[in-house]
Amino acid sequence: MKLNKKLMALAITTSGVCTLQMKAQLTNSYPTTGNTTIGSHIVAGNGNELWSVAPSLYVNYQSNASKSTYFWNGAAGTGFPILSLINSGKVGIATTTPNFNLQVHGLVDYVTQTIYDRNGGVVSNGANYGKTSRIGLTNLTTGSGEFDGAVLRMSDNNLTIVNQEAGGLFIGSSGAYLNFNGASDKAYFGSSIPLAGVNYAYLNVQGSGDNGLFVRAANSGKYALGLKVYSNNENVIEAYGTSATIKTFTVQGSGSTLINATGVTATGNVFLVQNSTRKLLQLTNDGILRARQIIVDQANWADYVFKPNYDLMSLEQVKKYIKENGHLPGIPSAKEIAETGINLSEMNTKLMEKVEELTLYIIQQQEKTKALEEKIMNLEKK
């Protein structure tokens, strides 16, 4: 490289420090072949370039217009853009036109190989994820291999964030956290650390000074929350109070529902349905069910008593039965009711049966009374 002697100066200051100043003329000539070229420009109109012509070509190029720096893998203007430093403060990897402060642009497919264990079993199937950009985060603890640390990957239209270690993945702000805990294989919302003390689920929500979970359907005809279990005899819902072992409310996949009122006071409400003006249905913990009206479906009402073929016991038979058994025929004894309770539908039918039988007895007695009155009247006429 030829340098104008007027542009080179050696300055010795009074402190004894030497300063070497070199300036290159824009008209300098230099070889364009060989391993390394240093010059003011290679292409007309461009300046301040450092060009290495080796098997892997890297070019530090500063355009007079943009004042930006580009590193290329290949000849000038060809190959792949490795790094772009734009004068606006944007940095691009594999792109010369970054649109963000840091933009990593995928140009080639990301292909993984099938991984086998020592016995020949498939651990992970190979796949082609398409055009991909990847950012790896590693440290001295994780190691620096491909499957170490964490990976932020954009493959085609799919974004993946993975911690490849056995630790956790945290996403959060000062008051809200999302924790994917690799040690417990569970996810936690609302807590920065895993919960303890209970066999928590795969997904856990822990509110901090607020409600735990709210789900709302945005469109008509869509449910807000759907739950499905492996089999109908499994619990699809389990609710707990302050005790972590007592299930206060469970619903099975079959629809079977259990309410455990152990923590409810003796007269407290186990179940209550009400509107803005009154209670509609109330069940207290002392076994009292309160409602305004109860309608019981009954298909076999007691009108069969009035059929001509109904076998009505005589009053003498009824008297004998009561004397021997201590209760009406067809009616459960006090002991039976104490042991098994009362079926309201069946009991109402039985009670109506006795009312209709009493009606028939009254009719019979009325007929007998009328016959006696007629006989008396006939005797009086003689």
Cα separation, 196 vs 217, in Å, equals 32
What is the extent of the structural domain holding 349?
Answer: 302-381
Q: Which of 58-67, 101-110, 126-135, 168-177 has the lowest mean pLDDT?
A: 58-67
Say if 79 falls within a structural domain: yes
Confidence of residue 117 (pLDDT cuts 50, 70, 90): low
CA dihedral of 207, 210, 213, 217, whole degrees rounded to 10: -160
Q: Are residues 85 and 15 in the same domain?
A: yes
pLDDT at 94: 92
Question: What's the angle, vertex CA 155, arms to CA 127 and CA 189, rounded to 5?
Answer: 105
Q: Are residues 25 and 97 in the same domain?
A: yes
Quick check: 34 pLDDT over 60?
no
Confidence of residue 159 (pLDDT cuts 50, 70, 90): very high
pLDDT at 62: 52
Question: What's the angle, vertex CA 123, arms to CA 151 and CA 152, rounded to 5?
Answer: 10
**124 or 299, which is more confident?**
299
Quick check: 8 pLDDT over 50?
no
Say if 285 falls within a structural domain: yes
Rounded-to-5 percentages of helix, strand, coil across the chain: 15, 35, 50
Residues near 326 by Cβ (< 8 Å), separated by ≥ 6? 333
pLDDT at 123: 65
Say if 21 falls within a structural domain: yes
Q: Are residues 375 and 319 in the same domain?
A: yes
Single residue among 105, 125, 143 that ends a domain in this structure: 105
Q: Are residues 131 and 195 in the same domain?
A: yes
CB half-sphere exposure, 281, CA atoms < 13 A: 6
Confidence of residue 335 (pLDDT cuts 50, 70, 90): very high
DSSP symbols for 86-133: -TTS-EEES-SS--SSEEE---SEEEE--EE-TTS-EEE--EEEEEEE
Q: Are residues 100 and 124 in the same domain?
A: no
pLDDT at 119: 74
* CA-based radius of gyration for the chain: 46
Say if 321 falls within a structural domain: yes
Q: Are residues 183 and 128 in the same domain?
A: yes
Single residue among 186, 205, 224 that ends a domain in this structure: 205
pTM, two decimal places: 0.58
Note whether 322 and 328 are within 8 A (CB). Answer: yes
Q: Are residues 338 and 246 in the same domain?
A: no
3 state SS of 336: helix
CB half-sphere exposure, 285, CA atoms < 13 A: 12
Q: Are residues 69 and 129 in the same domain?
A: no
Q: Which two tokens stand for residue 193?
A: 């650390």
Say if 58 falls within a structural domain: yes
Cα separation, 49 vs 43, in Å, equals 10
Q: Are residues 39 and 76 in the same domain?
A: yes
Q: Are residues 201 and 273 in the same domain?
A: no
**374 or 103, which is more confident?**
103
Say if 263 falls within a structural domain: yes
Single residue among 105, 124, 140 that ends a domain in this structure: 105
Confidence of residue 86 (pLDDT cuts 50, 70, 90): confident
Q: Are residues 268 and 314 in the same domain?
A: no
Mean pLDDT of 319-335: 95
Note whether 285 and 335 are within 8 A (CB). Answer: no
Quick check: 115 pLDDT over 60?
yes
Say if 213 falls within a structural domain: no
pLDDT at 57: 46
Cα 312 to Cα 22, 54, 302, 318, 371: the distances in Å are 132, 118, 13, 10, 21
What domain count does the chain have? 4
pLDDT in tens, 357-368: 999 999 999 999
Cα separation, 22 vs 112, in Å, equals 51
Q: How far is CA 114 from the centre of its chain?
A: 31
Say if 160 falls within a structural domain: yes
